[in-house]
Chains A and B, each alone.
Chain A
């Protein structure tokens, strides 16, 4: 019974891992730039939702409609101000410089968040926060369930955009072969900008959902970047639903470790999975070889 309950909670948090990873995977897959400040962007989205709720009592699911576009714009600004200079570099310099810029941004955003919102843990506590769906003896928190559904809906929308829309296809083409994409007349710089902004918006949405179902503080960024990285390695690049499934696998694995090994091992199990996948199947569970 305890195991089943933990697995349900693991499944629910796993959806958010998946959403966080999808954003990171999009920027990594398209720009070949690892944005280690992804978790801090997620944190910002969380505070955005928190702010709208405490200042104006806007329902968090509604405020995501404002947070997501605001984060999209922030992503455009960050790309324009910082990352566009990195993507012009060659492969190896690109990764190195993106790490430097990402870590710098991490520090700045972390300090900024402490300044604006103090180091205290915050959470959006709505009137319906405690509502629980009972299934036999199991309790499923409604909020977390809604967050999971919301995350899945967002990924489905993004998937459709990438599969069908003109610019969505341009993003996929650029991810596969940017030089060939340029030969098609695709403005590669613009697709980079768009992919980065979308990745940032996804981080913001994930952050909003975290602030609703869990809690946020200025220091959660690194933890979420790490979760997203583990999920990307687990799932492989290139598939949004792969990221989502990978997130859920990580959530379930963590839940099992809590039951069988005890709470402190929760963070360890992800890293162990990470190592096993790297050794056994380096392209990830759902990634294509090569």
Chain B
């Protein structure tokens, strides 16, 4: 279980997150929605240890991880699929996946997990010798997701997994996230594609200007007037 209390994160003097409280129960699939610049990516980066909080606590299974390094956090079973995918473009698909299993814990399971990832994404198996930079956008997103899965996460953080992808590809990525969720993984998804993600998740938080301004289950939020107006208007729906 991930528990965030009173989290504050700043870039120099600029406060990016004020007093964020959030909870993800084991096996839960949760979304964070909100406008650009609300601090969604900052939140994910802070959970995964890339950014250090100024104040507040992040607890994972009753252990405080707010000051831990990214290495320790991956080792604990929290993996991030970063915004923009951040693949190692000059390395092969296979190398990217194997690097995903760098931690001690994941090394032991590497072979079996590689087979599982290839089963989930047969396309990656076909392209395993190809350079990551030469893949199509959809394939790159699959690789980024597969690479994170190689770390054997119990909580998967996803930053804009559908960004810049064709609707068909988005559908298949979201279907895979649903499958991971069915298998018991916890997921925290930041997504611009609010309509699709709210239909998928159990619960969602609304983050605006660094503050959590709302929370509820996905279906309820979908019907909410404020959400409708802010994120699901005719314009927003067109802009996948």
Contact with B along A170-181 (1 / 0, CB 8 A): 101100110111
Residues of A with C-beta under 8 A to B70 = 182-183, 185
Most A Cβ at <10 Å: residue of B80, B87, B88, B107:
B88
Residues of A with C-beta under 8 A to B147 = 184
Stretch in B94-102, B173-181, B187-195 touching the partner: B94-102
Closest B-chain residue to A163, C-beta based? B95
Residues of A with C-beta under 8 A to B100 = 184
Q: Taking the complex as formed, is A169 at the interface, i.e. its CB lies under 8 A from any CB of chain B?
A: yes
Separation of A209 and B154 alpha carbons in the complex (Å): 52
Q: Taking the complex as formed, is A166 at the interface, i.e. its CB lies under 8 A from any CB of chain B?
A: yes
Complex partner residue of A183 from B80, B90, B107, CB under 8 angstroms: B80
Looking at chain A, what size class is its interface with the partner chain?
Answer: 10 to 19
Contact, CB under 8 Å: B95 / A183: no
Residues of A with C-beta under 8 A to B107 = 166
Stretch in B22-30, B71-79, B116-124 touching the partner: B71-79
Known contacts A169-B98, A187-B71, A182 near B88 by CB under 8 Å: no
Closest B-chain residue to A174, C-beta based? B88
Q: Taking the complex as formed, is A186 at the interface, i.e. its CB lies under 8 A from any CB of chain B?
A: yes
Closest B-chain residue to A170, C-beta based? B102
Closest CB in chain A relative to B14 CB, distance in Å: 16
Q: Taking the complex as formed, is B15 at the interface, i.e. its CB lies under 8 A from any CB of chain A?
A: no
Separation of A173 and B87 alpha carbons in the complex (Å): 9
Contact, CB under 8 Å: B90 / A185: no
Contact, CB under 8 Å: B71 / A182: yes
Residues of B with C-beta under 8 A to A186 = 71, 99, 102
Q: Taking the complex as formed, is A204 at the interface, i.e. its CB lies under 8 A from any CB of chain B?
A: no
Q: Taking the complex as formed, is A127 at the interface, i.e. its CB lies under 8 A from any CB of chain B?
A: no
Q: Taking the complex as formed, is A45 at the interface, i.e. its CB lies under 8 A from any CB of chain B?
A: no
Most B Cβ at <10 Å: residue of A173, A176, A184, A187:
A184
Separation of A244 and B212 alpha carbons in the complex (Å): 56
Residues of A with C-beta under 8 A to B39 = none
Closest CB in chain A relative to B153 CB, distance in Å: 11
Contact, CB under 8 Å: B86 / A185: no
Q: Taking the complex as formed, is A55 at the interface, i.e. its CB lies under 8 A from any CB of chain B?
A: no
Separation of A180 and B99 alpha carbons in the complex (Å): 10
Closest A-chain residue to B79, C-beta based? A183
Closest A-chain residue to B84, C-beta based? A180
Contact, CB under 8 Å: A177 / B48: no
Residues of B with C-beta under 8 A to A183 = 48, 50, 70, 74, 79-80, 82, 86
Contact with A along B93-116 (1 / 0, CB 8 A): 001001110110011000000000
Contact, CB under 8 Å: A182 / B50: yes
Q: Taking the complex as formed, is A288 at the interface, i.e. its CB lies under 8 A from any CB of chain B?
A: yes
Known contacts A169-B98, A170-B99, A179-B50, A184 near B90 by CB under 8 Å: no
Contact, CB under 8 Å: A185 / B88: no
Separation of A173 and B80 alpha carbons in the complex (Å): 16
Separation of A176 and B98 alpha carbons in the complex (Å): 16
Separation of A186 and B98 alpha carbons in the complex (Å): 12
Residues of B with C-beta under 8 A to A180 = 82, 86-88
Contact, CB under 8 Å: B86 / A177: yes
Contact, CB under 8 Å: A172 / B86: no
Contact, CB under 8 Å: A238 / B50: no
Closest A-chain residue to B132, C-beta based? A176
Separation of A187 and B147 alpha carbons in the complex (Å): 17
Closest A-chain residue to B87, C-beta based? A180
Known contacts A183-B82, A184-B99, A238 near B71 by CB under 8 Å: no
Q: A176-200: which residues lie under 8 A (CB-CB) from chain B?
A: 176-177, 179-187
Separation of A170 and B88 alpha carbons in the complex (Å): 11
Residues of B with C-beta under 8 A to A182 = 49-50, 69-71
Known contacts A170-B99, A183-B74, A184-B100, A176 near B151 by CB under 8 Å: no
Contact, CB under 8 Å: A176 / B71: no
Residues of A with C-beta under 8 A to B89 = 176
Residues of A with C-beta under 8 A to B95 = 169
Separation of A166 and B74 alpha carbons in the complex (Å): 17
Residues of A with C-beta under 8 A to B75 = 185
Contact, CB under 8 Å: B74 / A184: yes
Known contacts A166-B102, A183-B79, A184-B99, A172 near B91 by CB under 8 Å: yes
Task: Name 26 interchain pairs, CB-CB below 8 A, sorted by A.
Answer: A166-B102, A166-B107, A169-B91, A169-B95, A169-B98, A172-B88, A173-B91, A176-B89, A176-B90, A176-B91, A177-B88, A180-B82, A180-B88, A182-B49, A182-B50, A182-B69, A182-B70, A183-B48, A183-B50, A183-B79, A184-B99, A184-B151, A185-B70, A185-B102, A187-B69, A238-B90
B-binding residues in A (CB < 8 A): 166, 169-170, 172-173, 176-177, 179-187, 238, 288
